[in-house]
Amino acid sequence: MPQAPTINRRIVLAARPRGAPVPRDFRLEEAPVPSPADGQVLLRTLYLSLDPYMRGRMSEAPSYAPPAALDEPMVGGTVSRVVASRHPRLREGDLVLGTSGWQDYALSDGQDLVPLADTAHPSYALGVLGMPGFTAYHGLLNIGQPRPGETVVVAAASGAVGAVVGQLAKLRGARAVGITGGAEKCRYVTEELGFDACLDRHAPHLAERLAGACPAGIDVYFENVGGPVLDAVLPLLNEGARVPVCGGIAHYNDEAPPPGPDRLPMLMSLVLRKRLRVQGFIILDHYADGHAPFLRDMSAWVAGGQVRLREDVVAGLENAPAALIGLLEGKNFGKVIVRVAE
């Protein structure tokens, strides 16, 4: 009989970043594996999700969620296996979706856990069938509301959210134009995901190339980046265009307003003259009434091969800090998943 584990590796937030996170902002430490009390389970982390929102949680700035605590494991969604249970409804061996964060083992009273039936692809619960997929689904279909023949533009088009946005736009009969970093990613977006066009944001003259790819203007811009991409999009927005806003990764590390002219007057003028609908959303607000329809629809699309999402799998909990830093720099290719254990 194998010996029960006694060491729990944890990656804690050691310091709040100044600008872009660096490796010293994290610390790998060891602690005893906890034992479940009555009503609790001990979870073994199998997969850890890395997502852009984590940069905001590392800061003390006011936000929609409390900041991650210093000297505590970094926050994060996880797929785990129950390895010990004193809970009436959870058994050893169960696969669950939870929020164990950046550590090998964690305790839970079960309130934050969702049982998983998909044992073939459990990591999908952190990606296309999880929070990123739900973000794409709600933002595009409920706020963007694309119609057949319209043009939908999405940045970070090879990432966890953007890749799904473009595929859903195609399912609705719209044109999908992606913007991403690098020729290889652009080939993937058009050849594998079926976008109508994709532009490399690193290549020169983005604004001119985007105008060429959108001869009839832009009806829906799914905003998750900001920066020069937004600058290129704004002049092309049609009257009545919809702009769902779920993030702005280009500015997550900013410590001061970006250089250059004040763009706010131009933006507000466009909102007025073109009757734009610009709506920010936090997907956590929509689980109660929107998650069941999302899971029903997306599960069917994934099963039928109509929606796909590439996973960028990183092996080993110890490599999570470097992977998150790379994600914030755009070095990922698809949904970033850390495989913590087999």
Domain boundaries, the chain: 7-126+310-339, 131-283
191-199 average pLDDT score: 97
Q: Is the pLDDT of residue 251 over 90?
A: no
pLDDT digits (tens, 9 = 90+) for 37-80: 999 999 999 999 999 999 999 998 888 889 999 999 999 999 99
Q: Is the pLDDT of residue 145 over 80?
A: yes
What per-residue confidence (pLDDT) applies to 262?
80
Give domain 7-126+310-339's CATH number out of 3.40.50.300, 3.90.180.10, 3.10.310.10, 3.40.50.80: 3.90.180.10
* Short-list 252, 294, 311, 250, CA closest to 136: 294
pLDDT band at 213 (very low <50, low <70, confident <90, very high): very high
What per-residue confidence (pLDDT) applies to 250?
64
CB atoms within 10 A of CB 254: 13
What per-residue confidence (pLDDT) applies to 73?
96
What per-residue confidence (pLDDT) applies to 342?
85
More confident residue, 284 or 261: 284
The single-letter code of the amino acid at 304 is G
pLDDT digits (tens, 9 = 90+) for 70-126: 999 999 999 999 999 999 999 999 999 999 999 999 999 999 999 998 778 999 999
143-148 average pLDDT score: 98
Compute and round to an integer the Cα radius of gyration of the chain.
21
d(CA 247, CA 226): 8
Q: Is the pLDDT of residue 2 over 60?
A: no
Question: How long a stretch of residues is the chain?
Answer: 342
Cβ-in-10-Å burial (0-12, 13-18, 19+) of 210 comes to buried
Task: Supply φ then ψ for residue 251, to 5 degrees.
Answer: -115, 5
What is the pTM for the complete model shown? 0.92
214-226 average pLDDT score: 94
What per-residue confidence (pLDDT) applies to 1?
44
228-233 average pLDDT score: 92
What per-residue confidence (pLDDT) applies to 21?
94
**Contact (CB, 8 A) for 334 and 158:** yes
* Short-list 18, 80, 55, CA closest to 247: 55
Among the listed ranges 1-5, 165-169, 240-244, 305-309, which one has the minimum average pLDDT value?
Answer: 1-5
CATH of domain 131-283: 3.40.50.720
**Contact (CB, 8 A) for 20 and 325:** yes
pLDDT digits (tens, 9 = 90+) for 285-315: 999 999 999 999 999 999 999 999 999 999 9
State the average pLDDT for the chain.
Answer: 93
232-248 average pLDDT score: 94
Is-same-fold flag (7-126+310-339; 131-283)? no
What per-residue confidence (pLDDT) applies to 255?
67
Q: Is the pLDDT of residue 243 over 70?
A: yes
Cα–chain center distance at 230:
19
d(CA 238, CA 246): 20
Which 8-state DSSP code applies to residue 124? G
